[in-house]
Amino acid sequence: MKIGKEGRWALLFITPWIIGFAVFMAYPVVVSFFYSFCDYSVLSKPVWIGLGNYRDLLDDDVFWISLRNTAVFAVFSLPLGILFSLALAALLHLCVIGKATFRAIFFLPSLLPIVANAIIWLWIFNGEYGLFNYFLKGVFAIQPVNWLGAPNPAMAALIILGLWGVGYSIVIFLAAFQEVPTELYEAAELDGASHFGKFRHVTIPLISPVLYFQLVMGIIGVLQVFATPYIMTGGGPARSTLFYTMYLYDNAFRFLRMGYACALAWILFIIIVTLTWAATRLSSRYVHYQGG
């Protein structure tokens, strides 16, 4: 097929993107799939071992620990993050004094670099002189908790920290609220609907596509959590906060088991795709698109 002048110019402009995608995305994905079937230490040539890496995963206790920790974190962090950001967005959507200021305050934490954010919260959750313990003792008379030094409090601390960076979700929900037609609220009021009734029967159905988007992005995000726990706990104490991606990173760059790490990466990919597919299947029943 002959390409016209405009087509050649278009191809010329997208060539840098095509090269970048091929070199930095497509090639690593294909090679990682091949390496997942190899004994590869980076420093030597890969040796084909078939399904050896995947069989080793089944007998790897640390693999199951990291998978369980990630599942626990996801089960609590994902719904809490969505509900928290949805509630804050609903409050900020109301016509209150200083609305723009409050919006900026809630969005600013999401602009902090991950490393700086983790170090700040490392001080806040300090078991001896942290601000969080000081607050709990002063307001609720609760004795200091060794947040990052014991298994259960350490996981709880990371879940709480996950609520700190919901600024982007709040902005997306605010945009969705503004797209809801006011005529529907007026009709609901004529029918005697309360504020909660309008939120449940009008707002939620109309912003359900946004909820679905947040759910899918949240699934991808919580299953790939890495930097914050790696800086704050390093996987401890007693591997209680060793998440899947942290174990993957250790195998790839600390233990130089790149083939094994590639197998871990493809298992994570399958888990994310499966959960995303399940969310998409559920969306056909609960997500309502305007005009659809």
Express each pLDDT in 147-195 by its tens digit: 998 889 999 999 999 888 888 999 999 989 988 888 888 888 888 888 8
Q: Which residue has the higher pLDDT, 62 or 140?
A: 62
C-alpha to C-alpha distance for 155 and 152, rounded to whole angstroms: 5
Q: What are the φ/ψ torsions at residue 240 (nearest 5 degrees)?
A: -75, -20
Of all residues in the chain, what percent carry a pLDDT higher than 70?
A: 97
pLDDT digits over 204-218, tens only?
A: 888 999 999 999 999
pLDDT of residue 75 exceeding 90: yes
Cis peptide before 237 (omega within 30 of 0): yes
pLDDT of residue 291 exceeding 60: no
Q: Which domains does the chain have, with CATH numbers?
A: 1-26 (no CATH), 59-286 (1.10.3720.10)
Average pLDDT over residues 139-145: 82
Model confidence pTM above 0.85: yes
What token pair was written down for 127? 């078991």
pLDDT of residue 198 exceeding 70: yes
pLDDT digits over 99-141, tens only?
A: 778 888 888 888 888 889 999 999 999 888 888 888 888 778 8
- pLDDT for position 95: 66
